Amino acid sequence: MRILLAGGAGYVGSVLTPLLREAGHEVTVADECWFGVHLPEGVDVVRADLFSLNRHFLKGFDRVVFIAGLSNDPMAEFDPALNFVQNAALPAYMAYEAREAGVRRFVYGSSCSVYGFTGDEICTEDHRVNCPYPYGISKWQGEQGVMHLAREDFSAIALRQGTVNGHSPRMRFDLVVNTMFKSAMTTGRITVNDPSIWRPLLDIRDTSRAFLAAIEAPESVSGVFNVAWGNLRIGELAELIRDTLVSLGGPQAEIETLNRSDYRNYRVDCSRIREVLNFTPRYDMAETVRSLWEHRHEYGDMEREDYYNIRVFKKICEHLQVSRLRAPGGDHA
C-alpha cells in the first residue's frame, strides 16, 4: 500500500516507518520536522505544514496515518490556542481532504489522555471521557472530527494509545518510563509525584505494531480502540524500573515520593483491539527498560534540548508571528 505518515518524523513515526517498509508498504512522511529527521535512508520526506496539503496531494495514497500535532500536556498548556488548531482542527481537516481524495482509510493517533480523571474504573472505549485540560480535550475533538467521517467507502480508525515508551531514533525523555530511566541513570533517583495514580503504558514497538494492524485490517473495520500493554500505578512503575535496572547491572535508584496530586488518573481495557484487530502487545515494561538500557551509550547528554518536546516547542513559538499569553510549565508527560 502507499501510506502517508503525517507527522512521521516524530518519536512514533521513526519506529513505525521502518516497520511499515519491512511489511512491504511504500511510506511517504509529511512533517515540519520540528525535531529533525531520524528516518532510514531513502524514505520520501515532504517537509511541509500539514495544513498546506490538500486532496490533490493526498490522491493516490491508500492510507493516511495522523501522528502529528502537539504531543503532550506541557506543549498544549504552553500554547492552548495553537494546541486546539493543531490537535483538533488539523486531523479533522486532513481526514476530510483524504476522504475527498478517495483515500480508503484514515488512522488517527489518539490518546488514552481523553479519559482524564477516571480513577480506579477500567475504561472501555464506551466509557465517558473526563479530560478538562487542553491536550485531552483537543485529542478528543480531533478524534470526533475524524471518526464521524467514516462511511462505507472511507474507514476511520482511532488508536487511543497509552503513554508510549522505549527507544526511538528520534528519542524523547519526557515520557514517564523514559524519564524515570533517565533520572535513575543520571541522578540515582526516581521521583514520583503521586504513587497511587494509574497509567496505561505501551512499548513503542507495540504501538507501531498496532498501527500496522490498523492499516492492514479489512476495509470494513472502523472504530475507536484502546491500545496499551497494561495499566500500572506510578509507584509500582518506579519500583519495576528500579528493579529491572538492578537486574541488568545498572544503578540501584532511590525512589523519592513527593505526594503531589495529578489531574490525570486513568486505566483502560484493551479487549476490543484484541478481538477486532487481532492485536496483542509483545513487550512489557521490563522489556522497554531493557531496550533503553541497550541503547544507553547512544544518548549522550540525556538533558539535551531536543529530547524534550516542550523545550523545542518554546523556541518554535518564539519564531511565530503571534503574541499570546503563554503559561510557564514543566517538561514532562
Ligand X SMILES: NC(=O)c1ccc[n+]([C@@H]2O[C@H](COP(=O)([O-])OP(=O)(O)OC[C@H]3O[C@@H](n4cnc5c(N)ncnc54)[C@H](O)[C@@H]3O)[C@@H](O)[C@H]2O)c1
- Footprint of ligand X (CB under 6 A): 7, 9-13, 31-35, 49-50, 67-69, 71, 86, 90, 109, 111, 161, 163-164, 175, 309
Nearest-approach distance from CB 53 to ligand X, in angstroms: 9
Of the pair 35, 154, the CB lying nearest ligand X is at 35
The answer to whether residues 140 and 129 touch, using CB atoms and an 8 Å cutoff, is yes
Of the pair 7, 80, the CB lying nearest ligand X is at 7
Of the pair 146, 164, the CB lying nearest ligand X is at 164
The answer to whether residues 160 and 198 touch, using CB atoms and an 8 Å cutoff, is no
Of the pair 90, 131, the CB lying nearest ligand X is at 90
**The 3-state secondary structure of the chain, one letter per residue:** CEEEEECCCCCCHHHHHHHHHHCCCEEEEEECCCCCCCCCCCCEEEECCHHHCCHHHHCCCCEEEECCCCCCHHHHHHCHHHHHHHHHHHHHHHHHHHHHHCCCEEEEEEEHHHHCEEEEEEECCCCCCCCCCHHHHHHHHHHHHHHCCCECCEEEEEEEECEEECCCCCCCCCCHHHHHHHHHHHHCEEEECCCCCEEEEEEHHHHHHHHHHHHHCCCCCCEEEEECCEEEEHHHHHHHHHHHHHHCCCCCCEEEECCCCCCCEEEECCHHHHHHCCCCCCCCHHHHHHHHHHCHHHCCCCCCHHHCHHHHHHHHHHHCCCCCCCCCCCCCC
Nearest-approach distance from CB 153 to ligand X, in angstroms: 25
Nearest-approach distance from CB 129 to ligand X, in angstroms: 14
Nearest-approach distance from CB 142 to ligand X, in angstroms: 8
Of the pair 176, 184, the CB lying nearest ligand X is at 176
Of the pair 20, 250, the CB lying nearest ligand X is at 20
Length, in residues, of the chain? 333
Q: Which residue is nearest to ligand X (CB)?
A: 10
Of the pair 9, 234, the CB lying nearest ligand X is at 9
Nearest-approach distance from CB 188 to ligand X, in angstroms: 25
Nearest-approach distance from CB 254 to ligand X, in angstroms: 26
Of the pair 154, 307, the CB lying nearest ligand X is at 307
Cell of 168: 526511538
Nearest-approach distance from CB 175 to ligand X, in angstroms: 5
Backbone angles phi and psi of 313, in degrees to 5: -65, -40
Nearest-approach distance from CB 140 to ligand X, in angstroms: 12
